[in-house]
A and B are shown apart, each in its own frame.
Chain A
């Protein structure tokens, strides 16, 4: 669905009022990746890492400085019109709905802009009204909608023409927990039902963990991770935590292959790598165990660790 090879984007920034300085910024540096049809892919990176620039090249907004991009078999910047019909895009901070018009009018206009056949439009609208619960504010001018309502409206708007591929830039930013949940469920369902491919940038790691099977991480314009979430945890978050409840309070245990991180009464936290069952057996030999649990590192922690690495490490 997406095929990117050695893609780069370079901006020339001029600064200074009288003595103009010319500075070259490599926003994206020779990244390559492929996305198959039906994948739900997370695209992660700190601010200014090159996420948005990549998405803009994939949607035909920006012309790449070098490299090759193919989306749905098309070169985005050269075949922009054709591509636009087949993809949907939602940029959380940019409003695509008509500010002064009722939500439904915006949908009507988009129907004509995208040439959606009437029956398909009716079917989609009915479905989105139901899943995203749009009915209470369908006749409300967009400027009067709450953020959560507007995002739901925007999502529906970007899907009315049945895109094969959906680009979502921060789709859950600023939403409350309930609204976030609703948006996530909607995306999972669409992906399952229609096999739509979704590429999602986000700062919300909950989005990633609940939605994505694969993750791209970009930093300083370079791709530093491309793979599944379990592998990412394995590689960067190899250490897990064994939490044991002992019969009675004990001094910190000394067991091979683990370090006690914290003690709280009879409960102890042991940081370890490798097999949890072997460690449990070792702990059981040195103290009486009542209960235990293994905590996986959360992705937030892992991503923090990745970002903290010096570039090129």
Chain B
């Protein structure tokens, strides 16, 4: 495992070096990613400009959801966002090369096309987090701080698992990219808002099937000391790590199954 991380670091390091060769263009990329992602948050601010509350949630509370979701998603994107290139690799057969090397296929894909500029979105999330914490009136306890700190890695793992599982569609259909996006970018969007706003079936889906409610909603309830408007069991607020682990197991199994369906390309 440590060795695998070492290889990842080296592969990624090599790419960062070559990206930093063009400093000006790199700086513009980061700034662009940073600014564009702010538009999302402006949309939320505009909503609250017209209504004081969404359900039981005020603007700072929604900002907390948004920030947790955005930071987790941006860091996931940084680490495995290049899974978006998978459909192309499967279609043109260059996935072959990944398979003839003695390393995990996922590790290699993760180290394939590392784009440091994706960090821009995480920075934006951190700024929104500061805004949220400044006005949410949280009664800080050690447990709540711990929950906030733990929420980010749990979120990364859940988003990552959803991303990996969703990408597997590439092994069945030639153009599954949009399907995958519905889960990844769509999932990011869904988790930025309070889950209790959604219809019943969507809530069930997010809590029990694609466990995105564990990214921001349940931990935010705990951090804010807010009773669950849905009256779901309180234990769910602490189940993030378990949900993340389950999501990983599911994603890994899906991935292994999918890779065996790989058909390469002629030539």
Give the interface of A toward B (CB within 8 A): 11, 48, 52-53, 56, 59-63, 77, 80-82, 84-85, 87, 89, 91, 93-94, 96, 98, 100-101, 105, 108-109, 112-115
Contacts and interface: CB of A to CB of B under 8 A. Distances in A.
B263 A62 contact: yes
Contact of A61 (B11, B15, B102, B262): B262
A81 B94 contact: no
B233 interface: no
B100 A87 contact: yes
A85 B102 contact: yes
Nearest 4 CB-CB pairings of A with B: A84-B102, A85-B102, A61-B99, A89-B100
Contacts of A63: 260, 262
Given A52-B266, A112-B10, A61 B96 contact: yes
Contact of A62 (B18, B94, B104, B264): B264
Interface string B1-25: 0010011001100110010000000
Contact of A91 (B14, B96, B101, B260): B96
B7 A84 contact: no
Contacts of A80: 99
Contacts of B96: 56, 61, 91, 94
Contacts of A77: 260
B204 interface: no
Nearest to B93: A94
Nearest to B107: A113
A16 to B, nearest CB: 14
A61 B103 contact: no
Contact of B103 (A56, A81, A91, A96): A81
B55 interface: no
B97 A113 contact: no
Given A52-B266, A91-B96, A109 B10 contact: yes
Given A81-B104, A100-B18, 19 more contacts: A11-B263, A52-B266, A52-B267, A53-B264, A61-B99, A63-B260, A84-B99, A84-B100, A84-B101, A91-B97, A94-B96, A94-B97, A100-B15, A101-B18, A108-B10, A113-B7, A113-B101, A113-B103, A115-B3
Contacts of B3: 115
B6 A101 contact: no
9 contacts: A52-B264, A53-B264, A61-B99, A61-B264, A62-B264, A94-B97, A100-B15, A108-B10, A113-B7
A109 B14 contact: yes
B97 A98 contact: no
Q: Per DSSP, are chain B's interface residues mostly helix, strand or loop, or mixed?
A: loop
A59 B7 contact: no
A80 B102 CA distance: 7
B202 to A, nearest CB: 32
B26 to A, nearest CB: 14
Nearest to A63: B260
A17 to B, nearest CB: 13
B102 A113 contact: yes
B6 A98 contact: no
Contacts of A114: 101-102
Contacts of A59: 99-100
Nearest to B100: A89
A93 B15 CA distance: 23
Contacts of B11: 109
A94 B94 contact: yes
Given A109-B10, A109-B14, A96 B97 contact: yes
A84 B246 CA distance: 30
Contacts of A91: 96-97
A183 B204 CA distance: 62
Contacts of B264: 52-53, 56, 61-62
A267 to B, nearest CB: 45
Nearest to B103: A113
A82 B18 CA distance: 31
B253 to A, nearest CB: 16
A185 to B, nearest CB: 25
Nearest to B18: A100
A112 B99 contact: no
A109 B99 CA distance: 16
Interface in B149-197: none
A109 B263 CA distance: 27
Contacts of A89: 100
A98 B19 CA distance: 13
A172 to B, nearest CB: 16
Contacts of B104: 81
A114 B7 CA distance: 10
Contact of B14 (A52, A61, A93, A105): A105
Given A101-B18, A115-B3, A48 B100 contact: no
A234 to B, nearest CB: 33
B23 to A, nearest CB: 16
A53 B93 CA distance: 12
A63 B260 CA distance: 6
A81 B263 contact: no
Interface in B233-267: 260, 262-264, 266-267
